[in-house]
Structure 1
Amino acid sequence: MYFLVRTLTGRGSGEALENEYQGDRLTLGGEPGAMVPLPGVGGEVTLQATGQGAGRITARKPVIAVEGSDTEKHDLKVGDRFELPGYKLEVIPPPPGFDFALQIASAGKPAVRFTGDVSLERHTWSIRRTSWVLVLLVLLLTLLIPLLGLLRPELAETLRSTPLPDDGLWSSGPLVAAHQAAGVAQECQACHQTPFVMVRDETCLDCHHEIREHADLAVHAAHDFTDVRCASCHREHNEPAMVTRRDKGLCVDCHATPGNWAVDGRDPMQAVLGFTETTHPGFRVALLEPRGPGAAHGWELRRVRPDGEPLQESSNLKFTHQVHLDPAKVQHEATGEALACASCHVLKDDGEHFEPITMDNHCRSCHGLSFDIFEPELELPHGDLRAAITAMEAHFIREFTDPALRAQRAQEKPRRVPGKREPAASCEGSGLECGRAEALKEAEFQFMDTGCITCHEVSETGLENIMDRWFVQPIRLTGDWYPHARFDHTSHLSQAGLTGDAACETCHEASKSDLASDVLMPGQDNCLSCHAEDRGKAALDCVSCHAFHAAEGTLSRAARVRAARARAAHDSDILQGTSP
């Protein structure tokens, strides 16, 4: 249907604007979707043409005034007039080609009439007096009553359990889930111990007493972080709930100019401005190195930044990933399937580190330590050279001192086992001498031919005593290559289109490594390919990989002050004789 709407502008006699509309109905009013906008008319008015210039009008919200009476529905014909708030409307004959025509004119300004007398007489409840009453009521409900719970803590719980206002009105937002679970959200005084005083660090340490500084103050003694409060970085009552600052400035504000706080006599740190190829230095790998021959003085951790040459680990282990991951050379003893990374490397619950590799859990099923082909189920203890030699001596002395067992072994001819030594057929001497001689041969075979020497570095000392003739270099595997970084293996093991070993090999090229000394840790380039700030893939902030409170850092200043006070109080009690 076609509608014509003529709007009188009022600028001159008969001057009007005409608009044409097409549809099954015509809508008027102040709603955004109205076809004919009429500012000031609330709701929507609908007109439907019924033929011969007539129509039907329906109003949802505004009242239609037709011939002095109000209605919500009315049938219109040519010549009918009606009113909407602020407008006068008339149905006019539609021109050829139109089904309905409507003329709209402004109703003009409404007549103003004062129905009452203007009086300057003072009323009992003036506007000002009413305002003061409302102000006092607001203060009572939002300040004084909640303040009772703060001044008298025994009333706080009562106020919270009644419809009366309590200190919850003062909360500027919810707490993080950890603080809500600990009950802090229901006890404002747990943090806000003194009215109108900022939360102090000592209050945080009531629970977080083991928190540590950002650095070791024995190294950075001049930088005590005394001007930094806990609340400088940890902001509560925020939405969305994020109690820790994550912006780049948290780290870059200081680490952009490390020369300002460098320690004399130590290598200066490199500047960090972000995480791109040019704004972040290369990663430093933590390498464990033996102190003294055979790690006689333990192990020390050395941080090394690769300079182009491949790094080598000094773990004293003999192992080849390449052979163990080759399905043609090594298969799982129980299933016959090829070994995978997950066959040995089991992720811990933290999603970052892996369970330690041990002989019993990962190696013994294939690399057994049996030493007597007559009793292959017997195995040597692992990790204790003297215990292994003692076990061999005790076993073979028993064989040669037991006449019945010696006669039985002399008649048996077990099948030769590859990689195992064939025992002596006869021995001249006492059972003790023969047992020790056989143990010496087996020990030499285990330490120098096969067995221990397969995975360990073994050296001969030249001493006569069987207990001191060989030395097995201790093995120490690095448990955390990047101790100053955090990494989530769980999320990286579910890369798009990659699972299992394929996902592992994107960072660790283990299938190409033939030596246990190979350091299979990825460098910075590997991480930048996805997480660089300037590549727009999966950019990360500093605290996604780095923790501010270092594990090797000194106890926080507030914790040290608290400990010093406790020691002073204890010493005072001792001097006064009141200490137990």
Structure 2
Amino acid sequence: MSEGRTPSPNFDESRYERPNKNWLCGHACDGCPCRIGPSPSGECRATTECKPQLVTAPGETKGTWKCTRPKDWGGTCPDGPLPDGTCCKAVTKCRPVRSLRARRGLITRAFVIVCVALLLIGLGGTLRESFINPAPLSPAHSGPEFARLAAKHANISVSDAGQGCVACHPGINGNFTALASEATGVARNGLAASRFITPHPKDFSRMDASCVTCHSGHTFHQASVAKDMSCSVCHLEHKGPGTLAAVSAQNCVTCHGDADQMRLASEKAATLSTAMLSKTIAPGLITPAVSRPAAGFTQLIQGFATNHPEFQVVREKNADRNTLKFNHALHLTGSAIPTLGGKSLECASCHQPDASGAFMQRVSFEKNCRSCHSLSIDETTPGLELPHGNPDFARAFLRSLPTQYADHAKRRLGMTGQRDIEAFVKARITGLRERTLSGENLERAVFFADGAKGEATIIAGREGLARARFAGCAYCHEVTPQGNATPLVTTPQAPDRWMPHASFNHAKHTTMACVDCHTSATSSQLTADVIMPTQQSCVACHSPKGGAGDSCMTCHNYHNTAPAGLTAALRTAILQ
């Protein structure tokens, strides 16, 4: 009640029902509750309608009993009190009922008791693991084998490992007291509201420690990342028995779409050595020498079709440094190119998928070129071919031509008579000298003729009488003279991966023609041309409009192998 305000003169405090009462008069539902109401323990205290008062007039000693029934209860009754001073109107006792407040209290206490009982039964019994499991685990984190690994890492028996939960949640391996202590510790440190409203990354270091026990090679993103995210932020478990929940693109955008995060990453990169920032490439793979952007890969990206930058190899117009001289346009559209198996050459004639179907096998001379580019050293002796791949072997072959002719006569022509073999060798050597004048000329032509200069030759399907079916090593290769030593033929190195920071799967694009993505293949005349698709050509399909997947994880993998030789201290510093 506000200060200065007084209750109405007709206010009967004794009949005011306060909300803190636990019991109400049983006659309240009839609109005639008794004035005194139930006791605190819920017993009816009703007796009579009033409590008569003894009134003694001046000069009298005996006095008279008078009714004190209030007006709203009918006023003074006509019969008045009994001679002994008892009210003549006895009140029928009621059965008090609990107030709303009391009923709420009972329900709340009962609910708490039931919950505690269920927790005690569920957490303290043999079904504890299934009781606390919110949903089935993925196959990778369940089953007998995972339980065995969990037991091994936790140094406990397989039976104690249960479903393998202990591998990720080591705290559940104890008894109920230990589990309660674990929960209390989380409540003190992990349930603060500020921890849930602040942006990622969250601190789940205890869970991460369990993850890296098995996934030791999956700890790193780029070394310059401002702060590593917890494994459980992106990799969500307990989502059912299917595969592990796919990483959402929003997890990537949380950092790559945040200007502050990218700025911090750029600043951190400036303090690290280039070795720490290099992409780890699988052994044996050839990749182009692509320079890292000055600010690192810190451009803001909200989506592949929205503001993803152009692919670096296209944006920077990188050249293919492969020393092999090759003309795509000539092979795909040239009229002088012979057919292969009755069909004109196409991309698939040379570019064959590997066993996985994701990438292409390396093009090799023996498998892809020799069928057209014969290395026949003498047009009059088909089948006698120069060895390919080793300049020393080629030079030795040329300097032992009589022996090579003789061996060819025996193995390929079936000659057995020594005189016939000698006559065959003499005729071939004489004819070869007539066309090349000397052995030195022949060796020089084999190594350095490039089709534009040197002796006349037959190249691939071009007809005409000449020394050989190939111009010389320099027609396709970079050849460097070394005085009297064997010329140096630079080994071609075509990159296996043009985009080492992304993954690609050719097998998922078999419904498309190669030139749909590699559009410049039919017009490219130089090896230096990098015939790679542009980012916009990929967006045509990989976008909400195109319908194909455009999540970051479609092409990128968050994890990166830790650089070789990384010390434990430096590893810790990077992760901080």
Please, which of 153, 166, 169 is the counterpart of residue 192 of structure 1? 169
Q: Is the 8 A contact 2:329 2:522 kept in 1?
A: yes
The structural deviation recorded for 1:327 is 7.5
Q: Is the 8 A contact 1:324 1:330 kept in 2?
A: yes
Q: Is the 8 A contact 1:175 1:236 kept in 2?
A: yes
Alignment of 1:31-180 (within 5 A): 138-146=118-126, 165-180=127-142
Compared with structure 1, are the counterparts of its residues 145 and 511 closer, same or farther at alpha carbon in structure 2 (3 Å cutoff)?
same
Compared with structure 1, are the counterparts of its residues 177 and 338 closer, same or farther at alpha carbon in structure 2 (3 Å cutoff)?
farther
Q: 2:113 & 2:310 partners in 1: Cα distance? A: 68
> What does the per-residue CA deviation read over 1:289-308, in whole Å, with 9 as the maximum and x for residues that have no partner?
xxxxxxxxxxxxxxx733xx
TM-score by length of 1: 0.54
2:321 aligned residue: 314
Q: Is the 8 A contact 2:218 2:560 kept in 1?
A: no
What letter corresponds to residue 477 of structure 2 in structure 1?
H
2:551 aligned residue: 541
More contact order relative to length (CA 8 Å, sep ≥ 6) = 2
> What does the per-residue CA deviation read over 1:167-204, in whole Å, with 9 as the maximum and x for residues that have no partner?
12221112223334673373212222223476532322
1:476 aligns with 2:504: no
Please, which of 382, 385, 398 is the counterpart of residue 376 of structure 1? 382
Alignment of 1:460-499 (within 5 A): 460-461=481-482, 463=483, 465=484, 467-468=485-486, 470-495=487-512
SS of 1:206 mapped into structure 2: helix
Q: Is the 8 A contact 2:358 2:506 kept in 1?
A: yes
Q: Which has the larger Rg?
A: 2
Please, which of 502, 507, 520 is the counterpart of residue 518 of structure 2? 507
Q: Is the 8 A contact 1:373 1:422 kept in 2?
A: no
The structural deviation recorded for 1:119 is 11
1:250 aligned residue: 252
Percent identity, please: 27
What letter corresponds to residue 280 of structure 1 in structure 2?
H
SS of 1:482 mapped into structure 2: coil
Task: Say which structure is richer in strand.
Answer: 1
> What does the per-residue CA deviation read over 1:520-545, in whole Å, with 9 as the maximum and x for residues that have no partner?
00112212223245x46435121212
Q: Is the 8 A contact 1:493 1:504 kept in 2?
A: no
Q: Is the 8 A contact 1:347 1:354 kept in 2?
A: yes
> What does the per-residue CA deviation read over 1:204-232, in whole Å, with 9 as the maximum and x for residues that have no partner?
222212224112x4xx3xx573x532222
Compared with structure 1, are the counterparts of its residues 205 and 249 closer, same or farther at alpha carbon in structure 2 (3 Å cutoff)?
closer
SS of 1:200 mapped into structure 2: helix
SS of 1:471 mapped into structure 2: strand
Compared with structure 1, are the counterparts of its residues 460 and 242 closer, same or farther at alpha carbon in structure 2 (3 Å cutoff)?
same
SS of 2:166 mapped into structure 1: helix
Q: 1:444 & 1:182 partners in 2: Cα distance? A: 69
SS of 2:504 mapped into structure 1: coil
1:45 aligned residue: none
Q: Is the 8 A contact 1:315 1:477 kept in 2?
A: yes
What letter corresponds to residue 424 of structure 1 in structure 2?
R
What letter corresponds to residue 194 of structure 1 in structure 2?
G
Q: Is the 8 A contact 2:304 2:551 kept in 1?
A: no
2:477 aligned residue: 456
Compared with structure 1, are the counterparts of its residues 536 and 214 closer, same or farther at alpha carbon in structure 2 (3 Å cutoff)?
same
> What does the per-residue CA deviation read over 1:294-346, in whole Å, with 9 as the maximum and x for residues that have no partner?
xxxxxxxxxx733xxx543221111122222238433444x221222222112
Show structure 2 runs of 5+ residues with no match: 1-93, 98-105, 148-162, 173-181, 187-203, 272-292, 408-416, 450-470
Alignment of 1:549-564 (within 5 A): 549-551=559-561, 553-554=562-563, 560=568
Compared with structure 1, are the counterparts of its residues 393 and 255 closer, same or farther at alpha carbon in structure 2 (3 Å cutoff)?
farther
Q: 1:249 & 1:529 partners in 2: Cα distance? A: 24
Q: Is the 8 A contact 1:507 1:526 kept in 2?
A: no
1:525 aligns with 2:536: yes
* Larger displacement relative to structure 2 (137-146 or 513-522): 137-146
Please, which of 291, 294, 301 is the counterpart of residue 267 of structure 1? 294
Q: Is the 8 A contact 2:256 2:301 kept in 1?
A: no
Compared with structure 1, are the counterparts of its residues 254 and 515 closer, same or farther at alpha carbon in structure 2 (3 Å cutoff)?
closer
1:441 aligns with 2:441: yes
Compared with structure 1, are the counterparts of its residues 447 and 541 closer, same or farther at alpha carbon in structure 2 (3 Å cutoff)?
same
TM-score by length of 2: 0.55
Q: Is the 8 A contact 1:174 1:237 kept in 2?
A: yes
Show structure 1 runs of 5+ residues with no match: 1-116, 121-125, 147-164, 286-303, 415-420, 428-433, 496-501, 565-580
Instruction: Count residues in correspondence.
Output: 369
1:279 aligned residue: 307
> What does the per-residue CA deviation read over 1:210-264, in whole Å, with 9 as the maximum and x for residues that have no partner?
224112x4xx3xx573x53222222211257544431334245245423333233
What letter corresponds to residue 207 of structure 2 in structure 1?
R
What letter corresponds to residue 228 of structure 1 in structure 2?
M
Q: 2:248 & 2:489 partners in 1: Cα distance? A: 49
Q: Is the 8 A contact 2:517 2:532 kept in 1?
A: no
Q: Is the 8 A contact 2:212 2:219 kept in 1?
A: no
> What does the per-residue CA deviation read over 1:394-434, in whole Å, with 9 as the maximum and x for residues that have no partner?
343666999847741267579xxxxxx9512699xxxxxx9
Compared with structure 1, are the counterparts of its residues 315 and 422 closer, same or farther at alpha carbon in structure 2 (3 Å cutoff)?
farther
What letter corresponds to residue 480 of structure 1 in structure 2?
R
Q: Is the 8 A contact 1:213 1:555 kept in 2?
A: no
The structural deviation recorded for 1:355 is 0.9
> What does the per-residue CA deviation read over 1:88-111, in whole Å, with 9 as the maximum and x for residues that have no partner?
xxxxxxxxxxxxxxxxxxxxxxxx
Q: 1:264 & 1:139 partners in 2: Cα distance? A: 53
